[in-house]
Amino acid sequence: MTGPAMVESAPIRACLVALAASVLAGCNMIEGMFFYPDRVQYTRPADYGLAYEDVALATADGVKLHAWWLPAQGAAAGTVLHLHGNAANVSNHLPLAAWLPRAGFNVLMLDYRGFGRSEGRPTLDGVLADARAALAHLRSRRDVDATKLIVFGQSLGGATALRLLAEDAAGVRLAVIDSAFASYRGIARDAALQSIVLAPFLPLALPLLPGADKDPVTALARIDVPLIFVHGRADRVIPFKHSEQLLAAAQEPKRLIAVERAQHMESVMRPDVQSQVLAAMRDAVR
Protein backbone atom coordinates (compact mmCIF):
# COMPACT_ATOMS: atom_id res chain seq x y z
CA MET A 1 0.00 0.00 0.00
CA THR A 2 1.10 3.56 -0.62
CA GLY A 3 -0.03 7.06 0.25
CA PRO A 4 -2.93 7.55 2.66
CA ALA A 5 -3.63 3.83 3.01
CA MET A 6 -0.13 3.23 4.35
CA VAL A 7 -0.46 5.90 7.02
CA GLU A 8 -3.86 4.51 7.97
CA SER A 9 -2.78 0.89 8.35
CA ALA A 10 0.24 1.30 10.60
CA PRO A 11 -1.82 2.76 13.49
CA ILE A 12 -4.20 -0.19 13.37
CA ARG A 13 -1.27 -2.46 14.14
CA ALA A 14 -0.05 -0.03 16.78
CA CYS A 15 -3.45 -0.07 18.45
CA LEU A 16 -2.86 -3.71 19.39
CA VAL A 17 0.02 -2.58 21.58
CA ALA A 18 -2.17 0.13 23.11
CA LEU A 19 -4.85 -2.46 23.76
CA ALA A 20 -2.47 -4.60 25.79
CA ALA A 21 -0.92 -1.59 27.54
CA SER A 22 -4.35 -0.34 28.60
CA VAL A 23 -5.20 -3.64 30.25
CA LEU A 24 -1.82 -4.09 31.88
CA ALA A 25 -1.86 -0.55 33.25
CA GLY A 26 -5.35 -0.99 34.61
CA CYS A 27 -6.45 2.33 33.14
CA ASN A 28 -8.64 3.43 30.26
CA MET A 29 -6.39 4.40 27.38
CA ILE A 30 -8.72 2.68 24.95
CA GLU A 31 -10.14 5.68 23.09
CA GLY A 32 -6.62 6.89 22.35
CA MET A 33 -5.86 3.74 20.41
CA PHE A 34 -8.30 4.85 17.69
CA PHE A 35 -6.39 8.04 16.87
CA TYR A 36 -2.92 8.63 15.42
CA PRO A 37 -2.75 12.31 14.42
CA ASP A 38 0.28 14.25 13.30
CA ARG A 39 1.10 17.73 11.98
CA VAL A 40 3.15 16.74 8.94
CA GLN A 41 2.39 18.54 5.66
CA TYR A 42 2.04 15.64 3.21
CA THR A 43 0.38 17.39 0.26
CA ARG A 44 -1.16 20.74 -0.64
CA PRO A 45 -4.23 21.53 -2.76
CA ALA A 46 -1.97 23.24 -5.30
CA ASP A 47 -0.34 19.85 -5.94
CA TYR A 48 -3.66 18.81 -7.48
CA GLY A 49 -4.42 22.10 -9.21
CA LEU A 50 -7.06 22.98 -6.63
CA ALA A 51 -7.97 26.35 -5.17
CA TYR A 52 -8.50 26.34 -1.42
CA GLU A 53 -9.30 28.39 1.66
CA ASP A 54 -8.14 27.77 5.23
CA VAL A 55 -11.23 27.66 7.44
CA ALA A 56 -11.33 28.19 11.20
CA LEU A 57 -14.16 26.48 13.10
CA ALA A 58 -15.15 26.33 16.76
CA THR A 59 -17.00 23.43 18.36
CA ALA A 60 -19.75 23.65 20.95
CA ASP A 61 -17.20 22.77 23.64
CA GLY A 62 -14.84 25.53 22.54
CA VAL A 63 -12.21 23.63 20.55
CA LYS A 64 -10.71 25.51 17.59
CA LEU A 65 -10.47 23.45 14.43
CA HIS A 66 -8.83 23.80 11.04
CA ALA A 67 -10.38 22.75 7.75
CA TRP A 68 -9.75 23.15 4.04
CA TRP A 69 -12.47 24.53 1.80
CA LEU A 70 -11.99 23.27 -1.76
CA PRO A 71 -14.42 25.04 -4.12
CA ALA A 72 -15.83 23.21 -7.10
CA GLN A 73 -14.26 23.87 -10.46
CA GLY A 74 -17.12 25.46 -12.34
CA ALA A 75 -20.69 25.66 -11.05
CA ALA A 76 -21.12 23.57 -7.92
CA ALA A 77 -23.57 20.69 -8.16
CA GLY A 78 -23.47 20.24 -4.38
CA THR A 79 -21.20 20.29 -1.35
CA VAL A 80 -19.36 17.41 0.32
CA LEU A 81 -18.32 17.16 3.97
CA HIS A 82 -15.27 14.88 4.03
CA LEU A 83 -14.49 13.06 7.27
CA HIS A 84 -11.11 11.34 7.09
CA GLY A 85 -9.63 8.28 8.77
CA ASN A 86 -7.84 7.90 12.08
CA ALA A 87 -4.30 8.91 11.12
CA ALA A 88 -2.21 11.92 10.11
CA ASN A 89 -4.30 14.95 8.99
CA VAL A 90 -6.18 16.38 6.01
CA SER A 91 -3.03 16.86 3.94
CA ASN A 92 -2.45 13.09 3.96
CA HIS A 93 -6.04 12.35 2.99
CA LEU A 94 -6.27 15.00 0.28
CA PRO A 95 -5.60 12.53 -2.57
CA LEU A 96 -8.73 10.64 -1.54
CA ALA A 97 -10.95 13.70 -2.06
CA ALA A 98 -9.10 15.77 -4.71
CA TRP A 99 -11.20 14.27 -7.52
CA LEU A 100 -14.41 15.79 -6.17
CA PRO A 101 -13.80 19.53 -6.86
CA ARG A 102 -12.70 18.65 -10.39
CA ALA A 103 -16.03 16.85 -10.81
CA GLY A 104 -18.04 19.91 -9.77
CA PHE A 105 -18.46 19.49 -5.99
CA ASN A 106 -17.38 21.80 -3.21
CA VAL A 107 -15.53 19.95 -0.45
CA LEU A 108 -14.89 20.79 3.19
CA MET A 109 -12.07 18.63 4.58
CA LEU A 110 -12.00 18.70 8.37
CA ASP A 111 -9.03 18.15 10.67
CA TYR A 112 -10.43 16.62 13.85
CA ARG A 113 -9.29 17.96 17.22
CA GLY A 114 -5.63 17.14 17.74
CA PHE A 115 -5.04 16.58 14.01
CA GLY A 116 -3.02 18.88 11.78
CA ARG A 117 -3.60 22.50 12.77
CA SER A 118 -6.60 21.80 15.02
CA GLU A 119 -6.40 22.19 18.78
CA GLY A 120 -7.32 19.67 21.44
CA ARG A 121 -7.04 15.94 21.92
CA PRO A 122 -9.17 13.47 19.98
CA THR A 123 -11.85 11.31 21.57
CA LEU A 124 -14.68 9.45 19.89
CA ASP A 125 -17.34 11.85 21.18
CA GLY A 126 -15.05 14.83 20.57
CA VAL A 127 -14.60 13.91 16.92
CA LEU A 128 -18.37 13.63 16.61
CA ALA A 129 -18.66 17.17 18.01
CA ASP A 130 -16.11 18.29 15.41
CA ALA A 131 -18.23 16.79 12.62
CA ARG A 132 -21.27 18.63 13.98
CA ALA A 133 -19.38 21.93 13.85
CA ALA A 134 -18.28 21.28 10.27
CA LEU A 135 -21.81 20.47 9.14
CA ALA A 136 -23.11 23.63 10.84
CA HIS A 137 -20.42 25.66 9.08
CA LEU A 138 -21.51 24.37 5.68
CA ARG A 139 -25.09 25.33 6.38
CA SER A 140 -23.98 28.85 7.29
CA ARG A 141 -21.98 29.55 4.13
CA ARG A 142 -23.50 31.82 1.50
CA ASP A 143 -21.73 29.90 -1.27
CA VAL A 144 -23.34 26.60 -0.24
CA ASP A 145 -26.81 25.31 -1.03
CA ALA A 146 -27.62 23.81 2.38
CA THR A 147 -30.24 21.56 0.79
CA LYS A 148 -27.66 19.80 -1.39
CA LEU A 149 -25.17 18.31 1.04
CA ILE A 150 -23.31 15.00 0.86
CA VAL A 151 -21.33 13.38 3.68
CA PHE A 152 -18.31 11.32 2.63
CA GLY A 153 -16.71 9.42 5.52
CA GLN A 154 -13.77 7.08 5.28
CA SER A 155 -12.68 4.43 7.79
CA LEU A 156 -13.08 5.98 11.27
CA GLY A 157 -14.58 8.98 9.46
CA GLY A 158 -17.25 6.68 8.07
CA ALA A 159 -18.15 5.52 11.56
CA THR A 160 -18.29 9.14 12.71
CA ALA A 161 -20.41 10.10 9.70
CA LEU A 162 -23.03 7.51 10.59
CA ARG A 163 -23.19 8.70 14.21
CA LEU A 164 -23.55 12.29 12.94
CA LEU A 165 -26.35 11.50 10.51
CA ALA A 166 -28.27 9.55 13.14
CA GLU A 167 -28.77 12.81 15.04
CA ASP A 168 -28.80 15.41 12.24
CA ALA A 169 -29.26 14.81 8.53
CA ALA A 170 -31.06 18.01 7.48
CA GLY A 171 -30.13 18.88 3.91
CA VAL A 172 -28.03 15.75 3.42
CA ARG A 173 -29.01 14.02 0.18
CA LEU A 174 -26.53 11.13 0.28
CA ALA A 175 -23.88 9.54 2.48
CA VAL A 176 -20.88 7.71 1.03
CA ILE A 177 -19.28 5.46 3.64
CA ASP A 178 -15.93 4.02 2.60
CA SER A 179 -14.06 1.22 4.41
CA ALA A 180 -15.87 1.76 7.72
CA PHE A 181 -16.37 -0.62 10.62
CA ALA A 182 -19.65 -1.73 12.14
CA SER A 183 -18.70 -1.59 15.84
CA TYR A 184 -15.82 -0.43 18.01
CA ARG A 185 -15.59 -3.70 19.90
CA GLY A 186 -15.87 -5.63 16.67
CA ILE A 187 -12.92 -3.91 14.98
CA ALA A 188 -10.83 -4.18 18.16
CA ARG A 189 -11.63 -7.90 18.28
CA ASP A 190 -10.60 -8.34 14.66
CA ALA A 191 -7.34 -6.48 15.27
CA ALA A 192 -6.46 -8.32 18.48
CA LEU A 193 -7.15 -11.75 17.02
CA GLN A 194 -4.44 -11.13 14.44
CA SER A 195 -1.88 -11.54 17.22
CA ILE A 196 -1.40 -14.66 19.33
CA VAL A 197 0.36 -12.47 21.89
CA LEU A 198 -2.45 -9.96 22.29
CA ALA A 199 -5.49 -12.19 21.80
CA PRO A 200 -5.47 -13.30 25.48
CA PHE A 201 -5.97 -9.67 26.57
CA LEU A 202 -9.16 -9.32 24.53
CA PRO A 203 -11.68 -10.41 27.22
CA LEU A 204 -10.23 -7.85 29.63
CA ALA A 205 -10.04 -5.05 27.07
CA LEU A 206 -13.47 -5.32 25.45
CA PRO A 207 -15.43 -3.93 28.45
CA LEU A 208 -13.28 -0.77 28.24
CA LEU A 209 -14.38 -0.09 24.67
CA PRO A 210 -17.48 1.92 23.67
CA GLY A 211 -20.69 -0.07 23.88
CA ALA A 212 -23.31 -0.77 21.25
CA ASP A 213 -25.07 2.55 21.87
CA LYS A 214 -22.21 4.36 20.12
CA ASP A 215 -21.69 1.87 17.32
CA PRO A 216 -22.14 2.90 13.68
CA VAL A 217 -24.31 -0.15 13.04
CA THR A 218 -26.66 0.97 15.82
CA ALA A 219 -26.85 4.50 14.39
CA LEU A 220 -28.20 3.17 11.10
CA ALA A 221 -31.64 2.52 12.59
CA ARG A 222 -32.05 6.29 12.93
CA ILE A 223 -30.72 7.30 9.50
CA ASP A 224 -33.18 8.11 6.71
CA VAL A 225 -30.65 9.13 4.06
CA PRO A 226 -29.64 7.20 0.93
CA LEU A 227 -26.41 5.32 1.62
CA ILE A 228 -23.58 4.01 -0.52
CA PHE A 229 -21.06 1.75 1.17
CA VAL A 230 -17.71 1.22 -0.54
CA HIS A 231 -15.23 -1.44 0.58
CA GLY A 232 -12.33 -3.38 -0.86
CA ARG A 233 -12.62 -7.13 -0.55
CA ALA A 234 -8.86 -7.35 0.14
CA ASP A 235 -8.96 -4.84 3.02
CA ARG A 236 -6.66 -6.14 5.77
CA VAL A 237 -7.22 -3.15 8.09
CA ILE A 238 -11.02 -3.21 8.33
CA PRO A 239 -12.37 -6.49 6.94
CA PHE A 240 -14.98 -6.38 4.20
CA LYS A 241 -17.51 -8.10 6.48
CA HIS A 242 -17.97 -4.82 8.38
CA SER A 243 -19.56 -3.12 5.36
CA GLU A 244 -21.74 -6.18 4.84
CA GLN A 245 -22.97 -5.77 8.43
CA LEU A 246 -23.59 -2.06 7.89
CA LEU A 247 -25.49 -2.73 4.68
CA ALA A 248 -27.71 -5.29 6.39
CA ALA A 249 -28.62 -2.81 9.15
CA ALA A 250 -29.23 0.17 6.84
CA GLN A 251 -32.62 1.30 5.59
CA GLU A 252 -33.39 1.59 1.88
CA PRO A 253 -32.20 3.08 -0.39
CA LYS A 254 -28.78 1.55 0.10
CA ARG A 255 -26.01 0.04 -1.99
CA LEU A 256 -22.66 -1.67 -1.47
CA ILE A 257 -19.87 -1.21 -4.01
CA ALA A 258 -17.58 -4.19 -3.41
CA VAL A 259 -14.19 -3.70 -5.04
CA GLU A 260 -12.08 -6.71 -5.92
CA ARG A 261 -8.40 -6.72 -4.89
CA ALA A 262 -8.68 -3.31 -3.23
CA GLN A 263 -6.93 -2.65 0.07
CA HIS A 264 -8.00 -0.18 2.75
CA MET A 265 -9.41 3.03 1.26
CA GLU A 266 -7.95 2.21 -2.16
CA SER A 267 -11.35 1.75 -3.79
CA VAL A 268 -12.23 5.42 -4.30
CA MET A 269 -8.92 6.00 -6.09
CA ARG A 270 -10.13 3.77 -8.93
CA PRO A 271 -11.77 5.62 -11.85
CA ASP A 272 -14.59 3.09 -12.20
CA VAL A 273 -15.54 3.48 -8.53
CA GLN A 274 -15.32 7.26 -8.77
CA SER A 275 -17.64 7.17 -11.77
CA GLN A 276 -20.23 5.13 -9.86
CA VAL A 277 -20.05 7.37 -6.81
CA LEU A 278 -20.23 10.57 -8.88
CA ALA A 279 -23.26 9.31 -10.77
CA ALA A 280 -25.06 8.68 -7.48
CA MET A 281 -24.00 12.05 -6.10
CA ARG A 282 -25.21 13.95 -9.15
CA ASP A 283 -28.48 12.10 -9.08
CA ALA A 284 -28.93 12.84 -5.37
CA VAL A 285 -28.50 16.62 -5.70
CA ARG A 286 -30.74 17.15 -8.74
Measured between alpha carbons, how far is 1 from 7 in angstroms, rounded to an integer?
A: 9
pTM attached to this predicted model: 0.90
Q: So what's the pLDDT on residue 209?
A: 75
pLDDT in tens, the chain (286 residues): 334 443 454 444 455 455 544 444 443 456 777 899 999 999 999 999 999 999 999 999 999 999 999 999 999 999 999 999 999 999 999 999 999 999 999 999 999 999 999 999 999 999 999 999 999 999 999 999 999 999 999 999 999 999 999 999 999 999 999 999 999 988 878 877 676 666 666 676 677 777 899 999 999 999 999 999 999 999 999 999 999 999 999 999 999 999 999 999 999 999 999 999 999 999 999 9
**Domain-wise residue ranges, the chain:** 40-182+211-284
C-beta separation of 139 from 146 below 8 A: yes
CATH superfamily, domain 40-182+211-284, is Alpha/Beta hydrolase fold, catalytic domain (3.40.50.1820)
Q: Is 206 helix (H, G, I), strand (E, B) or coil?
A: helix
Q: So what's the pLDDT on residue 244?
A: 98
Instruction: Give me the residues paired with residue 80 across strands.
Output: 107, 150
- Nearest alpha carbon to residue 277 among 112, 163, 151: 151
C-beta separation of 183 from 216 below 8 A: yes
Q: So what's the pLDDT on residue 217?
A: 98
Instruction: Give me the residues paired with residue 175 across strands.
Output: 151, 227
Q: What is the dihedral sign for C-alpha 120, 125, 131, 134? A: negative
